[in-house]
């Protein structure tokens, strides 16, 4: 089923809770390895323990770690044998850590680990008692064993969550250059082909590449691509060579709203760490390999068993403590899959080993499909009309708001009990899978009932009932909204046609250096009308070959010292390769858009670049040729400047940061504007003088046609504030103009822009 949409939604394109643009890696880390044991335990807790007494819980008080641990000791005190020494030792450790007064949801990693060990030992102790006793004591000890086991699950999940937080921060710090607008990537290529007389060769090849980058619209893109190609090359006496190649590429791009979302989603991936700094991989390897395999299972088990555990604690006279609420692991807000077909022609000339010159021409066609998986609630947030079609006839639903609330609470309790008991009884994987499918089916029914009531008007958007139901779905997402219920997919197609030419000049004598210029012309069709159009990109790059220059200098020094016949290259590569990139340099990129037949500068960026690049074709006496290529790069954004003659770059950034209008959105936009204050002030000055800037005047006029009366009033306020800032450029007037600009952008997004972008999408 397909439907082309013309809806509006504040949940469509970007993460539900966008973070402010502050790296979590720069926040203090509660690392397990940096914590010291507290040597001054709470005196009251210690006295209470030694006297065997504890203050009774008042009505409504939540149990603490101390209440839970004393409950276990009290139950064991009534058993035929005293508590084992190992359990008493672990209880003393809890006292030494001064955590008995804490709630389970407020523990650090070391404290959670201590609680995990305590209840794990208690579980085994009650299990031994159950094996040695007869009914009814056996049943009681089995129930206490299961209770301790479920408590163990909660503390294990909290421990794993603290471990993951350390990895999240480490990964965000490792990718700091990407968060600030840069990129990093790796590639590996292997080809085996045939050679002929005269230096000709034909080599089919496979290439794997990865790239992590921040787009001009400040979206984090994580791309993995696999390509297959064939290259034909002809060489002439090592003086000149030419090659032509054809390539087909498949790519998958995962998009994240910010670096923290990326780190949360990818910090447990060994592949992700491998594609970055190998030093960071080694530093985090112990934590990574110890936690990545069981994290999802442990978090899911703790979240699913928590309601049943809380009911069991109530049965034993304990008010359930504030256990940590575990949410599903972060996911990319959009996945883009594409196919690229490219043709490349290259020529290279060797000027007697002193200067190498090269030229390249390339044309490619890239077609992609953007995807976003949705459940029925996500479909409703996307399009009420399509949600109505998905639900079918209203006669199929017979429920009310009170009944839905009752059913949701009952389903949470029942499903938690069934799943927990199945795991406690060690039932087969087949039975667990069947039970999970049954629970998912019921969760889907309840989600459908909720959307049915919203479509019938029984639950108004943002009403008290709506907020309470949404809160239930959020708190129990692993039970009520698992990924298996995302049965619908929102899609849109894009196309980019590019023609590029590049020239290179390399100085091979003495200090090895290379300069290049790349010019590309692209025709882009996107879901966003302000991203569609014809672009002209100009990239100027200069590289200093660090290792090659080092080799030349050492060889020259050895020759002057009278040492001959010694090749320093292997030693230099071994030593320098551990501390240096092969090449260092800088690049400048200018992005222009063809508007009304004229190029308009949207953005200029300067990068500091580091790269490793090795390409070699090995031929032998046989007609076989082996082509090997390995490379990596890191680009750090040194400076960037926004253009002030067009809004086509600013508007997509505003849509990404302001689409929901939350406080976090507004702060993210303000931070971006403050970072580019001079560029925005120039843009506002041009708005004040819009008659002198025909293109900007035309864009503002077009935007005004799509605004409501309130939106047009916001634009008039913007023009007045911009003129006042032009005439009286003080801090106060400039801030007022920026605020008026933000208000106009919000009006444009709400009145037209977001709905226009969404109209290019369909739901299948």
- What per-residue confidence (pLDDT) applies to 509? 59
Cite the DSSP H helix spans in 501-591.
546-560, 569-576
Pairwise CA distance, residues 514 & 659, whole Å: 44
The stretch 9-19 carries a mean pLDDT of 42
- What per-residue confidence (pLDDT) applies to 579? 42
Q: In percent, how much of the chain has pLDDT > 70?
A: 85
- What per-residue confidence (pLDDT) applies to 510? 55
656 and 604 housed in the same domain = no
φ, ψ at 646 (rounded to 5°): -150, 155
Domain ends where: 642, 661, 692? 642
208 and 337 housed in the same domain = yes
- Considering the chain, what is the average pLDDT of its residues? 85
CATH number of 567's domain: 2.40.160
* pLDDT higher than 70, residue 66: yes
* pLDDT higher than 90, residue 51: no
* pLDDT higher than 60, residue 316: yes
Pairwise CA distance, residues 735 & 727, whole Å: 14
The stretch 659-672 carries a mean pLDDT of 86
In-domain check, residue 194: yes
* pLDDT higher than 70, residue 531: yes
In-domain check, residue 3: no
* pLDDT higher than 70, residue 551: no
Pairwise CA distance, residues 364 & 80, whole Å: 79
140 and 74 housed in the same domain = yes
480 and 506 housed in the same domain = no
Total domains present in the chain: 4
Q: Which of 45-59, 559-573, 741-755 has the lowest mean pLDDT?
A: 45-59
* pLDDT higher than 60, residue 496: yes
In-domain check, residue 588: yes
Higher-pLDDT residue of 187, 53: 187
Q: Which residue has the tokens 């220059």?
A: 549
Higher-pLDDT residue of 207, 626: 207
Per-residue model confidence as pLDDT tens digits over 432-463: 999 999 999 999 999 999 999 999 999 999 89
**Spatial CA neighbour of 223 closest among 370, 335, 388:** 335
- What per-residue confidence (pLDDT) applies to 539? 94
DSSP per position, 465-515: HHHHHHHHHHHTHHHHS-GGG--EEEEEEEEEEEEEEEEEEEE-SSS-EEE
Domain ends where: 596, 616, 642? 642
Q: Which two tokens stand for residue 746?
A: 């919000």
Domain ranges, residue 154: 31-172+292-315
The pLDDT-based confidence of 92 (bands split at 50, 70, 90) is confident
The stretch 625-650 carries a mean pLDDT of 91
181 and 306 housed in the same domain = no
* pLDDT higher than 50, residue 553: yes
Pairwise CA distance, residues 493 & 149, whole Å: 50
257 and 350 housed in the same domain = yes
- What per-residue confidence (pLDDT) applies to 610? 87
Cite the beta strand spans of 23-119 per DSSP E: none
In-domain check, residue 394: yes
In-domain check, residue 15: no
Domain ends where: 435, 454, 485? 485
481 and 496 housed in the same domain = no
Q: Pick left, alpha or beta for residue 260 (phi over 0 → left; psi -120 to 50 → alpha; otherwise beta).
A: alpha
Per-residue model confidence as pLDDT tens digits over 166-195: 999 999 999 999 998 999 999 999 998 887
- What per-residue confidence (pLDDT) applies to 613? 79
Per-residue model confidence as pLDDT tens digits over 386-412: 898 888 777 778 889 999 999 999 999
The stretch 724-745 carries a mean pLDDT of 95
Pairwise CA distance, residues 285 & 290, whole Å: 8
* pLDDT higher than 70, residue 285: yes
- What per-residue confidence (pLDDT) applies to 455? 93
Q: Which residues contact 63 (CB under 8 A, 6 or more apart)?
A: 57, 313, 318, 319, 320, 321
φ, ψ at 280 (rounded to 5°): -65, -35
Residues 65, 66, 71, 76, Cα dihedral to 10°: 110
Higher-pLDDT residue of 650, 137: 650
Pairwise CA distance, residues 157 & 495, whole Å: 44
- What per-residue confidence (pLDDT) applies to 221? 95
Q: In a 10 Å sphere around its CB, with 0-12 CB exposed, 13-18 middle and 19+ buried, how is residue 32 labelled?
A: middle
Question: Is there a contact between 658 and 742 (Cβ–Cβ < 8 Å)?
Answer: yes
The stretch 590-617 carries a mean pLDDT of 89
Q: Compute the residue count for the chain.
A: 764
- Rounded to two decimals, the pTM is 0.84
- What per-residue confidence (pLDDT) applies to 99? 83
Q: Which of 12-16, 100-104, 654-658, 737-741 has the lowest mean pLDDT?
A: 12-16
In-domain check, residue 274: no
What are the CA-CA distances from residue 521 to residues 282, 499, 524, 537 (Å)?
42, 5, 10, 7
The stretch 218-225 carries a mean pLDDT of 94
Cite the DSSP H helix spans in 605-662.
650-658
Pairwise CA distance, residues 77 & 125, whole Å: 12
- What per-residue confidence (pLDDT) applies to 552? 60
The pLDDT-based confidence of 22 (bands split at 50, 70, 90) is very low
- What per-residue confidence (pLDDT) applies to 352? 61
40 and 149 housed in the same domain = yes
In-domain check, residue 326: no
506 and 617 housed in the same domain = yes
Q: In a 10 Å sphere around its CB, with 0-12 CB exposed, 13-18 middle and 19+ buried, how is residue 282 labelled?
A: exposed
Angle between helix 109-132 and 85-96 (nearest 10): 160
431 and 416 housed in the same domain = yes
The pLDDT-based confidence of 508 (bands split at 50, 70, 90) is low
Q: How far apart are the first and last CA of the chain?
A: 5
* pLDDT higher than 80, residue 591: yes
496 and 584 housed in the same domain = yes
134 and 60 housed in the same domain = yes
In-domain check, residue 322: no
């Amino acid at each position: 089923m397909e439907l082309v949409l013309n809806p509006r939604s504040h949940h469509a394109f970007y993460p539900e809770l966008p973070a402010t643009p502050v790296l979590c890696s720069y926040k203090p880390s509660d690392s397990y390895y940096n914590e010291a044991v507290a040597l001054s335990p709470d005196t009251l807790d210690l006295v209470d323990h030694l006297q065997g007494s504890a203050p009774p819980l008042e009505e409504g008080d939540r149990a603490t770690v101390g209440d839970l641990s004393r409950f276990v000791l009290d139950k064991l005190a009534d058993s035929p044998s005293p508590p084992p020494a190992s359990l008493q030792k672990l209880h003393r450790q809890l006292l030494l850590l001064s955590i008995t007064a804490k709630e389970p949801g407020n523990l650090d990693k070391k404290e959670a680990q201590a609680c995990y060990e305590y209840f794990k030992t208690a579980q085994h102790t009650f299990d031994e008692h159950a094996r040695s006793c007869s009914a009814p004591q056996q049943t009681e000890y089995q129930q206490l064993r299961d209770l301790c086991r479920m408590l163990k699950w909660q503390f294990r999940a909290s421990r794993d969550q603290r471990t993951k937080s350390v990895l999240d921060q480490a990964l965000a710090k490792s990718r700091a250059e990407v968060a600030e607008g840069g990129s990093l990537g790796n590639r590996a290529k292997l080809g085996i082909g045939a050679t002929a007389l005269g230096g000709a060769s034909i080599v089919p090849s496979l290439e794997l590449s990865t790239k992590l980058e921040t787009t001009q619209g400040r979206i984090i893109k994580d791309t993995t691509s696999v390509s297959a190609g064939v290259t034909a090359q002809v060489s002439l006496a090592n003086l000149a060579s030419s090659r032509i190649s054809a390539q087909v590429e498949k790519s998958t791009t995962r998009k994240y709203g910010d670096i923290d979302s990326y780190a949360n989603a990818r910090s447990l991936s060994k592949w992700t760490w491998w594609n970055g700094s190998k030093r960071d991989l080694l530093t985090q390897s112990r934590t990574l390999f110890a936690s990545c395999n069981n994290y999802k299972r442990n978090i899911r088990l703790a979240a699913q068993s928590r309601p049943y555990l809380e009911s069991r604690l109530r049965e034993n006279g304990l008010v359930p403590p504030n256990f940590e609420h575990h949410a599903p692991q972060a996911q990319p807000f959009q996945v883009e899959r594409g196919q690229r077909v490219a043709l490349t022609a290259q020529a290279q000339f060797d000027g007697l080993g002193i200067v190498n010159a090269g030229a390249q021409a390339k044309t490619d066609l890239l077609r992609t499909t953007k995807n976003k998986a949705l459940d029925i609630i996500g479909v409703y947030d996307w399009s009420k009309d399509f949600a109505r079609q998905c639900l079918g006839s209203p006669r199929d639903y017979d429920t009310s708001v009170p009944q839905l609330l009752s059913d949701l609470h009952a389903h949470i309790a029942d499903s938690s009990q069934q799943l927990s008991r199945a795991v406690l009884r060690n039932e087969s994987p087949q039975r667990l899978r069947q039970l999970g499918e049954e629970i998912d089916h019921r969760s889907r029914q309840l989600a459908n009932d909720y959307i049915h009531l919203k479509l019938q008007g029984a639950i108004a958007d943002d009403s008290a009932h709506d907020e309470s139901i949404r809160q239930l779905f959020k708190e129990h997402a692993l039970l009520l909204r698992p990924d298996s219920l995302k049965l619908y997919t929102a899609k849109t197609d894009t196309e980019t046609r590019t023609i590029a030419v590049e020239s290179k000049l390399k100085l091979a004598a003495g200090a090895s250096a290379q300069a290049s210029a790349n010019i590309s012309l692209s025709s882009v069709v996107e879901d966003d009308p302000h991203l569609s159009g014809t672009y002209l990109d100009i990239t100027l790059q200069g590289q200093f070959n660090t290792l090659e220059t080092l080799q030349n200098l050492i060889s020259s020094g050895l020759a002057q010292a009278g040492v001959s016949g010694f090749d320093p290259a292997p030693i230099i590569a071994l030593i320098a390769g551990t501390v240096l990139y092969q090449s260092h340099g800088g690049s400048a990129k200018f992005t222009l858009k063809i508007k009304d037949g004229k190029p308009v500068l949207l953005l200029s960026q300067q990068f500091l670049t580091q790269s490793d690049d090795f390409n070699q074709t090995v031929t032998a006496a046989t007609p076989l040729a082996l082509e090997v290529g390995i490379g990596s790069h890191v680009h750090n954004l040194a400076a960037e400047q926004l253009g002030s003659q067009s809004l086509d770059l600013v508007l997509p950034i505003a849509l990404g940061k302001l689409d929901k209008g939350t406080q976090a959105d507004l702060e993210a936009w303000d931070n971006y504007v403050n970072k580019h204050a001079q560029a925005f002030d120039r843009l506002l000055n041009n708005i004040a003088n819009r008659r002198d800037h025909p293109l900007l005047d035309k864009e503002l006029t077009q935007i005004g046609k799509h605004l409501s009366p309130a939106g047009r009033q916001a634009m008039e306020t913007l023009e007045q504030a911009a003129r006042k800032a032009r005439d009286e450029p003080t801090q106060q007037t400039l801030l007022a103009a920026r605020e008026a600009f933000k208000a106009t952008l919000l009006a444009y997004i709400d009145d037209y822009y977001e709905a226009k972008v969404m109209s290019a999408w369909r739901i299948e």
